Structure 1
Amino acid sequence: MVTRQHLVSGASSGVIGGVILGFFLKVVQTFTGIKVYTLLLNVDFLPILGRVIWSEFVEFFFHLCISFLLGMIYSFIPKTKTHPYITSFIITIPTIPLFYVLIHLSIKETVSITDLTGFLLWTIGHILFAFSLAASYQYLTKKMTT
C-alpha cells in the first residue's frame, strides 16, 4: 500500500534527481559546449508550449515536473521484491534513447544526433538521476518513519 509518506518521498526524490541531472548537464554543457542541457530543457517542438519563448527557469521547471512524475511512479512500484536501485534504473532507462527522439523533434539547435560524447554525457546524467532517485527515496522514507 502506498502511503502519503511514500508519495511525498517519491515526489521529493524525483525533484532531487531532476536537480542533480539538470545541474550535471548544465555544468557539462558549460565546459564542453555540447548542448545536452539545452536538449534537456527544450520544449520548442510541443504544440502549445513550443509557441512561447520560455526563460531557462521555466524550462527547468517543466523538466522538474517530469522528474516529479517519475518520482511519483517510483513510489507506486513495490520495492520489497526488487532492489530499489534496479527499480529506479528500470524507470529511467526509457529516458536514455529519448536523446535521439528529442534531437529529431527539436527545432532549435541542440546536440548533434551523431555526437557519441553527447549521448554518453546524456546517459551518465540519467544514470545519476536513477541513482539519486533511489538513494534519496530510501533516505526520505527512512527519515519520515523515525
Structure 2
Amino acid sequence: MKQAVKLILIGLAAGAILAVFLKIIQTTTGNQAYDLLFETDYVPVLKQWHEVPGVGIAFHFLTCIMSVAVLFLLLKPFHLERRFLPYVLVYTIGGAFLYPLTALSARTPELADVAAWGLWTLGHALFSVTVGLLIKFW
C-alpha cells in the first residue's frame, strides 16, 4: 500500500512538472505542444467527452500515474525498478513516439511541427528524469 501511494504521488508530481514545463513553453513561445497533453480525440471512449471540463486533465494525470506504476511493475522481475536509466529511456523515447498522435486532432500542433515535437520530447525527458530520481531516491 505504501509503495502504491508513492507511485501515485510520483506520477502526479512528474505529470505536474511536465504540464507546467509545456505550459511555460506555450505561454512564452506560443508553441502548442502543451495542448496534446490533454487531448482525448484519439481515445475512442473519451473522444465524445473532450468538451467536458476536467476530462483532459484527468486523462493526463491518470496516464502519468498508470505509466509510472506499470513500468515499475514491469521492471521489478528484472530488479531494475529502482534504476534511473530505464525510466529515462522508456519515457523519453516513448514520448517522442507518441507525438504523431497529434495528427488525430485539429486542436494540437501539426505533425510536421519539429519544434513542438522537440519540446514535447524534452518535456517527456524532464518527466522521465523526475520519475527516475524520485523512484531511485524516495
- TM-score scaled to structure 2, two decimals? 0.85
Greater CA radius of gyration, 1 or 2? Answer: 1
Can you give the 5+ residue segments of structure 2 that lack an aligned partner in the other structure? none
Partner of 1:23: 20
Q: How does 1:45-56 map to 2 (within 5 A)?
A: 45-52=42-49, 53-55=51-53
SS in 1 for 2:63: helix
1:64-95 alpha-carbon deviations (Å, 9 max, x no partner)? 00000011123322374577221212331222
Q: CA deviation at 1:10?
A: 1.9
Partner of 1:110: 108
- Alignment partner for residue 11 of structure 2, among 10, 14, 18? 14
| CA–CA separation in structure 2 for the residues paired with 1:62 and 1:25 | 16
Higher relative contact order (CA 8 A, sep 6+): 1
Count of residue pairs brought into register by the alignment: 134
| Deviating more after overlay: 62-71 vs 108-117 | 108-117
| CA–CA separation in structure 2 for the residues paired with 1:37 and 1:89 | 20
Q: CA deviation at 1:119?
A: 0.9
> In the superposition, relative to structure 1, how do residues 82 and 54 fare at CA in structure 2: closer, same or farther (>3 Å)?
closer
| Deviating more after overlay: 130-139 vs 119-128 | 130-139
| CA–CA separation in structure 2 for the residues paired with 1:133 and 1:96 | 17
* Contact kept? 1:45, 1:105, Cα under 8 Å: yes
| CA–CA separation in structure 1 for the residues paired with 2:82 and 2:48 | 42
- TM-score scaled to structure 1, two decimals? 0.80
Q: How does 1:31-70 map to 2 (within 5 A)?
A: 31-52=28-49, 53-55=51-53, 57-70=54-67
- Alignment partner for residue 125 of structure 1, among 115, 120, 123? 123
The RMSD of aligned alpha carbons is 2.0
Identity %: 26
* Contact kept? 2:84, 2:136, Cα under 8 Å: no
> In the superposition, relative to structure 1, how do residues 60 and 124 fare at CA in structure 2: closer, same or farther (>3 Å)?
same
Specify the code of the residue in structure 2 equivalent to 1:25. Answer: L
